[in-house]
Amino acid sequence: MTLLNEPRTRRRRLGVATAAAGLLAALLTAVPAAATPDPGDAPKAPKKVSKSDAADTKRAIADGKIPAPDEIVHSDNIEHLGNIPKDALPGTNSDLAFQGKYAFAGNYDGFRIFDISNPKKPETVAQVLCPGSQNDVSVSGDLLFLSTDSSRSDSSCASTTQPATEKSSWEGMKVFDISDKRNPRYVAAVETACGSHTHTLVPERRNVYVYVSSYSPSAAFPDCQPPHDGISVIKVPRKAPQKAAVVGFPVLFPGEGPDGGGNPGSPTNPGVSKTTGCHDITVLPSEDLAAGACMGDGILFSIKDPERPKVIDRVQDNVNFAFWHSATFNQDADKVVFTDELGGGGGATCNAEIGPNRGADGIYEIKGWGDKRKLVFKSYYKIPRHQADTENCVAHNGSLIPVKGKDLMVQAWYQGGVSVWDFTNSAKPKEIAYFERGPLSADQLVGGGSWSAYYYNGHIYSNDMVKGFDVLKLNDKRTDPAKRVRLRELNVQTQPEYFNKH
């Protein structure tokens, strides 16, 4: 382990007061890679910003309004315990999952497994090279699931990029056996319409159902034809994962015409994405309930029959939401937090020009009972710290912090960092802690920052797209009770019942 001391300390002048912190970094020996990362899945090139925007960024850094490139700032109640930089997998880091003493981290070039039994000194256990964006990852028992949402030459881990216009191209779900964490074994592949941008597990004793979210069909794509107005459902037998197969494609947005019945988007609703599928789904198995963030729509649906989900309610926000990205239930299952990924994750939207209601979270309360339940909008939440115009920043992936009687959440905001916030009062959400780095560049917009930030067994884990795997410790009397909650497994999109209500 190498300790890198941060010589400067400075308090941020926007939002909650913070102090610069030391950076604990570990570059650990990787499992040898057998293939070559595919440049076809490389992140987008940096974007130029105007001279005035670059000058504003440099002035804000000089004035102490934002941290300098690579400088770490955080609220006094967060401690940065450690960081593992990217190693043999140079691609963009993506989602996280957890099981026992292990964390599983997706990367556009494959996935990584960390031993987090000592959160101060996380260690790399395995790195699996298997290119195919965006490689969102989930685990259940001895199985690991990996989403492939880029058109590949075949389903192997040695595949290369290939146009989606070619019938032989492949996109979908990959399944690995992780009974030996040091040697994951690729056991199954299931092709799905339009690939798998994200996925959500609905686990049962004998089978694991996988809800596959994907979108953006085209008449030119043989395996991604419009209308793409539903989700693929895969059934995976635990004892025979090689028999995994698609068992249905439930339509969530029925309607006439080639585009189905989802939000028509622009020009009918200017600035809003047309609904051609879902981006992400979160299930609450204890309540047989799910929430879908589906581009131009937010939905609530029943999963009593996991192969045939039934939509209960559907909402739109054609004023402030551009792209419904993800969803999180509170512990009492009477609220849903939806996120708006304005700019697709590549834009600088955490500034005064965009304002507090766009690129934000939307808090909805669930009213009524059974199939009569309705989603009712209450308020927006956005980080209170303005970011530079060279920083991509928008609401992204987060999880609950399990404190009984409270609605607390930790969330990633790309280069806006990690925010801990309280939405117990749905109408008045507030930030209570944060962690962030300065911009990757003061001269151009370079994609980076925290993709996912989740609370698991007493610590916050963040997968930074560029900087690697971070471990944070939250020291706050409002969140301390969560340290007593222990889980054997956590896939954030398959929300656990933290406190038994049944």
- Residue 502 has what pLDDT? 63
pLDDT, tens digit only, all 502 positions of the chain: 222 222 222 334 333 322 222 222 222 233 333 467 777 776 678 888 888 888 989 998 998 889 999 899 999 999 999 999 999 999 999 999 999 999 999 999 999 999 999 999 999 999 999 999 999 999 999 999 999 999 999 999 999 999 999 999 999 999 999 999 999 999 999 999 999 999 999 999 999 999 999 999 999 999 999 999 999 999 999 999 999 999 999 999 998 777 789 999 999 999 999 999 999 999 999 999 999 999 999 999 999 999 999 999 999 999 999 999 999 999 999 999 999 999 999 999 999 999 999 999 999 999 999 999 999 999 999 999 999 999 999 999 999 999 999 999 999 999 999 999 999 999 999 999 999 999 999 999 999 999 999 999 999 999 999 999 999 999 999 999 999 999 999 999 999 999 887 6
**Gap between the Cα atoms of 500 and 141, Å rounded:** 22
Q: How far apart are alpha carbons 341 and 257 in whole angstroms?
A: 27
* Backbone phi and psi for residue 182, each to the nearest 5 degrees, phi listed first: -85, -15
Q: Where are the domains of the chain?
A: 2-490
**Quick one: pLDDT at residue 296?**
97
Strand order in the sheet with 102-107: 123-129, 110-115, 102-107, 93-99, 489-490
- Whole-number Å distance between alpha carbons of 129 and 127: 6
The per-residue DSSP string of 143-175 comes to EEEEEEEEEESSSSTT--B--TTSTT-EEEEEE
Answer yes or no: are the C-beta atoms of 435 and 449 closer than 8 Å. no
**Which tokens is 482 given?**
């969560």
Class of domain 2-490: mainly beta
| Total Cβ atoms within 10 A of residue 481 | 15
Q: What is the pTM of this model?
A: 0.92
pLDDT of 486 reads: 97
What does the angle CA 9 – CA 14 – CA 16 come to, to the nearest 5 degrees?
A: 75
Edge-first strand order for the sheet with 418-422 is 18-20, 72-75, 430-437, 418-422, 408-412, 398-401
Cis peptide before 242 (omega within 30 of 0): no
Per-residue confidence (pLDDT) for residue 286, from 0 to 100: 95
- pLDDT value, residue 172: 98
Q: What is the pLDDT of residue 258?
A: 74
Burial of residue 497 (number of CB atoms within 10 Å: 0-12, 13-18, 19+): middle
